[in-house]
Structure 1
């Protein structure tokens, strides 16, 4: 199962990433660090979401 994690994107803005199954990295390759606190996040990491879509497509075929 994959989980979401709130971290920074390349510009430093907080976004939701998708974690690898071992929960140590994001699907786009960002190291998991502490989550930003007290920030409302309404954006998703596009590279993570594309990678997650590919993972899900490969498990259903």
Structure 2
């Protein structure tokens, strides 16, 4: 079975956006930061409280997928 890396999958991480609101971000392949440039920290214990997504991360992710 192929690994996530082989499949090119991206993981999600729940953290604050620039305004401090809790949103879901898309992580870079090395999982150290998000596609929008937010440095990854400990994931919020309140992650179940939001279904909002970072627009910048989602747009960048869409561009990556479309480029394949």
4+ residue runs over 6 A deviation:
none
Count residues in correspondence.
59
Task: Compute the RMSD of aligned alpha carbons.
Answer: 0.9
Structure 1: 5+ residue runs without aligned partners?
A: none
Please report the TM-score for the alignment, with normalisation by the length of structure 2: 0.82
Q: Provide the C-alpha distance between the structure 2 equivalents of 1:21 and 1:2, rounded to a whole number of angstroms.
A: 7
Deviation at 1:38, TM superposition (A): 3.1
Please report the TM-score for the alignment, with normalisation by the length of structure 1: 0.91
Q: Which has the higher helix share?
A: 2
Structure 2: 5+ residue runs without aligned partners?
A: 1-8
Q: Provide the C-alpha distance between the structure 2 equivalents of 1:38 and 1:4, rounded to a whole number of angstroms.
A: 14
Instruction: Tell me which structure has the larger Cα radius of gyration.
Output: 2
